[in-house]
Amino acid sequence: MSETAKIILDGKEYNLPVVEGSENEKAIDISQLRAQSGYITLDYGYKNTGSTSSAITFLDGEKGILRYRGYSIEDLAENSSFMEVAYLLIYGELPSKDVFEKFDQNIRKHTLIHEDIKKILDGFPSKSHPMGVLSSLVTTQTAFYPESLDPSRSPEGVDLSIIRILAKMPTFVAWAHKHKLGHPVVYPNVNMDYCSNMLQMMFKMPGNDYDVDPVVSNALDKLLILHADHEQNCSTSTVRITGSSRASLYASVSAGINALWGPLHGGANQAVIEMLENIKADGGDTKKWMAKAKDKDDPFRLMGFGHRVYKNFDPRARIIKKAADDVLEKLGIQDPVLDVAKGLEAEALSDDYFVERKLYPNVDFYSGIIYRALGIPVDMFTVMFALGRLPGWIAQWKEMRENSEPIGRPRQVYVGENLRPYVPLSKR
């Protein structure tokens, strides 16, 4: 007989099925509990709640394991490319050489965006944060491709939306950057790979040649691989829950971009660099800032430290720390902020407060240092994260739709007023 969990409520016993994943992860299926007993479960921040079963990404926070479709993040970061990883995440298998070439060509073909996007972009004040611009531009695609709104589209139709969003995102990213600078936009170049094309759109200026440095585009490609998926985090859950109402891929991804923006999620990479610069400007006394982070009366937190699921180490942070050293060396850059970061990390790793709470550097701790070395401005850091996370969001949206998952709708425990009579305004 398969394993069950027993729960006793008001003296009555209920047997709940236990579900086991392919890596022996176990869960108690409580989906019938309310119907049978009237009880729901309560779990603030979903710290202990699985919202779905998924075949895309496996992570073990205790052991520091991260795998996409069964391939280790270390293997993929070392040997693959972001476009290949995108294909793997979305379609489930590594592509053959022919299939990959077709996919890559198809992406290149769709990088151009409608000229009217320029008018929309012009409506944004130049001080707009590029994350807000990006999420808006992604939503505009529902207007340019209204057929994408149909939830019962053919697989070919859904596939076209997938290709379009993957292809156009670097153009949106680069144009959001150009708009902020007040510079003319640069058009995509179909002869260039994904990252090189985006870099030329970001950094080419009229009258000035811009040669993409392969060190820069390879480093960016690796960073995007590391960010490509991370199972049911805040932004991915947002994408799935938005899509569960049968909202289009573009609308769902746009929602994910907004969820990623916050400083406790993807916005941490911007917050980390700002924090490191503050510490440096303040004289570089890392002990003082460590003390602030530990003081419960002080709102300051060590940005880039701690993670909801990694309680040992974040495997992405290890790869990024090494990549930061490599990139800075290859580009001949000495960044004093890297020394502040390493000093903080060394102190935190031997500090009781951080050790007891299992707080380790996360993916965002060193990524900002690399982005800066690559010439990417601070307010574009989270935008780069969004670009990297795009294949994961697409894969999760597609999986949710293909599994015909029900609309996401959590319950609550109501703690407000009981029924009371309305008192007319004149009598108050």
Q: Which is the catalytic residue, given 221, 227, 307, 314?
A: 307
Phi and psi at 124, nearest 5°, equal -85, 130
- Whichever of 283 and 299 has its CB closer to ligand ACO, that residue is 299
Least Å distance, CB 180 to ligand ACO, is 23
Q: What residues numbered 223-282 form the site for ligand ACO, per CB under 6 A?
A: 264-266, 268
In 3D, which of 34, 71, 36 has the Cα closest to residue 55? Answer: 71
Query: Please, what is the minimum distance in Å from the beta carbon of residue 293 to ligand ACO?
Result: 4
Query: CA-to-CA distance for 369 and 360, rounded, in angstroms?
Result: 17
Contacts of 156 (CB under 8 A, 6+ apart): none
The C-alpha R_g of the chain, in whole angstroms, comes to 23
Please report which residue ranges of 15-154 form alpha helices under DSSP H: 33-37, 73-79, 82-91, 97-109, 117-122, 130-144
CA–CA dist 360, 364 (Å, integer):
11
Q: In the annotation, is 307 catalytic?
A: yes
- The reply on whether position 364 binds ligand ACO by CB under 6 A is yes
Residue 318 as a binder of ligand ACO (CB under 6 A): the answer is no
308 binds ligand ACO (CB under 6 A): yes
Binding window for ligand ACO (CB under 6 A); candidates: 98-106, 181-189, 354-362, 398-406 = 354-362
| Beta-strand relationship, 12-20 and 71-72 | unpaired
Nearest to 132 by CA among 238, 267, 265, 234: 267
170 burial via Cβ count (<10 Å: 0-12, 13-18, 19+)? buried
Residue 38's Cβ-count burial label (10 Å; 0-12, 13-18, 19+) is exposed
Q: Which residues within the stretch 146-205 sit at the binding site for ligand ACO (CB under 6 A)? A: none
Residue of 134, 228, 293, 394 interacting with ligand ACO (CB under 6 A): 293
Query: Which runs of consecutive H residues, i.e. helices, occur in 262-310?
Result: 268-281, 286-294
- In the complex, minimum distance from the CB of residue 294 to ligand ACO, in angstroms, rounded to a whole number: 7
**Contact status: 363 vs ligand ACO (CB under 6 A):** yes
Residue closer to ligand ACO (CB basis): 96 or 350: 350
Tell me 407's DSSP state: P
Sheet bearing 57-60, strands edge to edge? 57-60, 65-68, 71-72
Give the Cα-Cα-Cα angle 387, 108, 156 (nearest 5 degrees): 85
Which range binds ligand ACO by CB under 6 A, 70-78, 189-197, 361-369, 372-380? 361-369
Toward ligand ACO, which CB reaches closer, 130 or 306? 306
Is residue 364 part of the annotated active site? The answer reads yes
**Among residues 64, 188, 304, 392, the one that binds ligand ACO under rule CB under 6 A:** 304
Does position 388 bind ligand ACO by CB under 6 A?
no
Binding to ligand ACO (CB under 6 A): which residues in 5-44? none
Nearest residue (beta carbon) to ligand ACO: 306
Residue 162 vs 344, nearer CB to ligand ACO: 344
Catalytic residue numbers read 307, 364
Binding site for ligand ACO (CB under 6 A): 264-266, 268, 293, 301-308, 357, 359, 362-364
